[in-house]
Amino acid sequence: MLEKLLSGEETSRLVLICDDQFTNGSTLLRAFARSLIKRGCQLHLFCFEQHPTNFVNHLNLHNDSNVHVHDFYSDPIGWNDGDGCLLGSRLFDINSKVNQEQAGGSNTAVVIDSLSITLQTCESTSVCQQLHKLSHNQRVIQTVMLHHTHLHVDDVTKRLSHISDSVLKLNLTSSLPKITFSKKSVHDGTICVTVHRKLNGKVFLSEEKVEILSDSSVEACPWQQDPLSAQTGGISLNEEPDVTSEANLTFNLNLSVREKKERSKLVMPYIKASEEEKVEIHRSTGGGGKIFYEPDDVDDFDDEDPDEDLEF
């Protein structure tokens, strides 16, 4: 599912990448940016957390003409420019900025490095409204945003997920928090849990192990939570002593082969009784079906039985 979203096979107007203090989502964001440029889009890059040249250099592009950078990193509150307006109102111009710099009829895509600063200065509902308008903008084919879930309350994440078509949540493979750095767990990596909502309403959930290579291409393979490793935090079981081993017992719990045979030969008392009945029935019926009726004294045996007149 992740690869389909990246390549554009699955259309998704608003993609939300969620990371936390243990995972890094900016590499995945760059991968999205790169694939959008490859598809021939005019990319509008809104940088809040990294210097724009840093971001663009990591994209490893041959030519930068398709990338329009909106730099909110260098002067976020507008001290140098002099207007001193709050950062939030600058984000509201996203729509107008995108519409302004439209060259011809090519597709536009928007990548927002991080929503955190905007969410801290403005109400999340306003941000949601702006993003919704952006996603419904006719010219914009996709908007990709990065969101740091640990910096905001759950409500904000829920609202952003509600308006997004695809939510990509990055987790670590080991569910235990990394307290020590000395012991490296055996299976360490990033999983991406994707919840994608198609246009017709159907929802797809997929969990994939993600590896992002140095040239910003992504390898994703499906991954299933291994229950054993989840509990033990990725430490292989061989290291721990087997608690239930029978080596320390003074008596033997297992049966030898001969003893097993003897056990199967043993006939239970209730079998004998049912066997005798079975044998009798077999002898008497002999394949046919006969009814042996012995009338009691009380029974009338009427010779003029009217039932014989009945014809079926």
User: Which residues contribute to the site for another protein (CB under 8 A)?
Assistant: 123-126, 128-129, 132-133, 155, 158-159, 162-163, 195, 197, 201-203, 205, 263-268, 271, 275, 278-279, 281-282
Least distance in Å: CB of 197 to another protein?
5
Q: How far is the CB of 140 from another protein (least distance, A)?
A: 17
- Closer residue to another protein, CB minimum distance, 195 or 235: 195
For another protein, the closer CB: 7 or 225: 225
Q: Which is nearer to another protein, 166 or 173 (CB)?
A: 166
Contact call for residues 142 and 175 (beta carbons, < 8 A): no
CA distances for 299 relative to 3, 241, 295, 296, 302, angstroms: 86, 79, 6, 5, 9
Cβ-based nearer residue to another protein, 105 or 201:
201
Structure-block tokens of residue 287: 């394949």
Residue closer to another protein by CB (options 57, 231) is: 231
Q: How many CA atoms lie within 13 A of 164 on its CB side?
A: 25
Please compute, for residue 160, the number of CA atoms within 13 A of its CA located in the half-sphere on the CB side.
28
Q: Which CB atom, from 177 or from 289, has the smaller least distance to another protein?
A: 289
The answer to whether 166 touches 141, Cβ cutoff 8 Å, is no
Find the shortest distance in angstroms from Cβ 68 to another protein: 24
b/e for 144-180, b at 16 or more Cβ within 10 A?
A: bbbbbbebbeeebbebbbeebbbbbbbbbbbeeeeee
Closest approach, Cβ 96 to another protein, in A, equals: 12
How remote is the C-alpha of 51 from its chain's centroid?
32
| DSSP for residue 220 | E
Q: Is there a contact between 220 and 208 (Cβ–Cβ < 8 Å)?
A: yes
Instruction: Tell me how far, at minimum, the Cβ of 123 lies from another protein, in Å.
Output: 5
Q: Considering only CA atoms, which of 19, 15, 6, 8 is closest in space to residue 191?
A: 19
Q: Output 164 or 216, the one with its CB closest to another protein.
A: 164
CB of 283 to another protein, least distance (A): 11
Q: How far is the CB of 134 from another protein (least distance, A)?
A: 13
Q: Is residue 118 within 8 Å of 12, Cβ to Cβ?
A: no
